[in-house]
Amino acid sequence: MDKTLLLNPSDYVGVTFWIISAAMVAATFFFWVERDRAVGKWKTSLTVAAMVTGIAAIHYFYMREVWVGTNASPTVFRYVDWLLTVPLQIVEFYLILAAMTAVATGLFWRLLVASLVMLIAGYLGEVNAENSSTLWICFVIGMAGWLYILYEIFAGEASKINASQGTEAGQRAFNALRMIVTVGWAIYPLGYLWGYAGGGDAAALNIIYNLADFVNKIAFGVVIWAAATSDSASKSAS
Ligand SMILES: *C/C=C(C)/C=C/C=C(C)/C=C/C1=C(C)CCCC1(C)C
């Protein structure tokens, strides 16, 4: 294995780690500063959005070094990052729901447990990737965790939000976050499939996961920022 200390500009996977590191730092700073423009509960939502991208930035710096130095997937730090940031995103989702309607805290715990099942299964599958039955059983368990989350937000308690509840900005945020959890999160299992089916391709795996993190952490925050600033603008105008 070719070991090196510096990022080779033709290492396109390494370059995506680099670009996303910068984007995560910029997003953190942006959400943090924009918090001043939000009112009430929206301030907390922007704080959480900044925490997510800030935690990811630190992991991206390190994951980039692992990739540059070893050309291997930084699986452990990838999952440490997800284990910290996915629960924060579930908190974020729940805060928005709770602001719109009375939702039981049981919903929060169900979403949290399902996300942990999804991530722990994914981790066990990836660190045991040489064993293909473990790899694919874990994939199926991880998929079940994600599908359960989709069930909760499209057909379960969380879906019972109707057009008369909450502010317009809150509803827009809820619908957009739902799309992110459906379409944006779907990129991860595709990365797992592409990365491991047929012998394994670490470059494809990391490039797809990096793209997914860019969408699901930064766009997720931007959706919250858009709702927070439009709601706050209408409140301060009235
Ligand atoms: C900021 C990080 C985020 C939003 C990470 C999300 C990760 C997932 C949605 C992972 C999903 C997976 C499955 C649905 C199947 C098993 C393999 C995983 C863990 C990649």
Domains by residue range for the chain, with CATH: 3-237 (1.20.1070.10)
Predicted confidence at residue 164, as pLDDT, reads 66
What mean pLDDT do residues 173-182 have? Answer: 91
Q: Which residue's alpha carbon is at the smallest distance from atom 5 of ligand 1?
A: 82
3-class SS letters over the chain: CCCCCCCCCCCHHHHHHHHHHHHHHHHHHHHHHHHHHCCCHHHHHHHHHHHHHHHHHHHHHHHHHHHHHHCCCCHHHHHHHHHHHHHHHHHHHHHHHHHHCCCCHHHHHHHHHHHHHHHHHHHHHHHCCCCHHHHHHHHHHHHHHHHHHHHHHHCCHHHHCCCCCCCHHHHHHHHHHHHHHHHHHHHHHHHHHHHHHHHCCHHHHHHHHHHHHHHHHHHHHHHHHHHHHHHHHHHHHC
Q: Would the pLDDT of 90 be above 90?
A: yes
Distance 141 CA to ligand 1 centre (A): 12
Ligand 1: residue whose CA is nearest its atom 16: 142
For ligand 1, the distance from its centroid to the CA atom of residue 118, given in whole angstroms, is: 7
Which pTM value belongs to this model?
0.93
For 190-227, the pLDDT digits (tens) are: 999 999 997 889 999 999 999 999 999 999 999 999 99
- Please report which confidence band the pLDDT of residue 157 belongs to, taking 50, 70 and 90 as the band edges: confident
Measuring from atom 10 of ligand 1, which residue has the nearest CA? 188
Report the pLDDT value the prediction gives residue 162, as an integer from 0 to 100: 63
% of the chain beyond a pLDDT of 90: 73
Nearest CA to ligand 1 atom 17: 122
Question: Which pLDDT belongs to residue 182?
Answer: 96
Residues with CB under 6 A from ligand 1: 82, 85-86, 89, 118-119, 121-122, 139, 142-143, 146, 185, 188-189, 192, 213, 216-217
Nearest CA to ligand 1 atom 6: 185
- Model confidence at 3, pLDDT cuts 50, 70, 90, reads low
Cα 157 to averaged position of ligand 1 atoms, centre (Å): 22
What confidence score (pLDDT) does residue 4 get? 67
In this structure, what token pair is assigned to residue 69? Answer: 């130095």
The pLDDT score that the predictor gives to residue 35 is: 95
189 alpha carbon – ligand 1 mean position (Å):
6
**Smallest CA separation from ligand 1 atom 9, residue:** 185
Task: Determine the pLDDT at residue 156.
Answer: 85
Q: What is the pLDDT of residue 210?
A: 98
Compare 232 and 141 and report the one with higher pLDDT.
Answer: 141
In this model, does residue 76 exceed pLDDT 90?
Answer: yes
Query: Rounded mean pLDDT of the chain?
Result: 92
How confident is residue 46, by pLDDT bands cut at 50, 70 and 90?
A: very high
Mutational pocket test of ligand 1: of 134, 188, 220, 223, the residue with most ligand atoms within 8 Å of the beta carbon: 188
pLDDT tens sequence across 102-142:
778 898 999 999 999 999 999 999 999 999 999 999 999 99
Which residue pairs from 88-91 have beta carbons closer than 8 angstroms and sit at least 24 positions apart in sequence?
A: 88/48, 88/51, 88/52, 88/55, 89/52, 89/216, 89/220, 90/115, 91/48
Give the residue carrying structure tokens 């779907």. Answer: 186
Output the CA–CA distances (angstroms, integers) from residue 64 to 6, 182, 214, 225, in the order listed.
Answer: 10, 27, 15, 28
Q: Which atom of ligand 1 is nearest to the CA of 220?
A: 4
Q: Which residue has the higher pLDDT, 161 or 80?
A: 80
Q: Which residues contact 71 (CB under 8 A, 6 or more apart)?
A: 1, 2, 202
Cα-to-chain-centroid distance, residue 68: 24
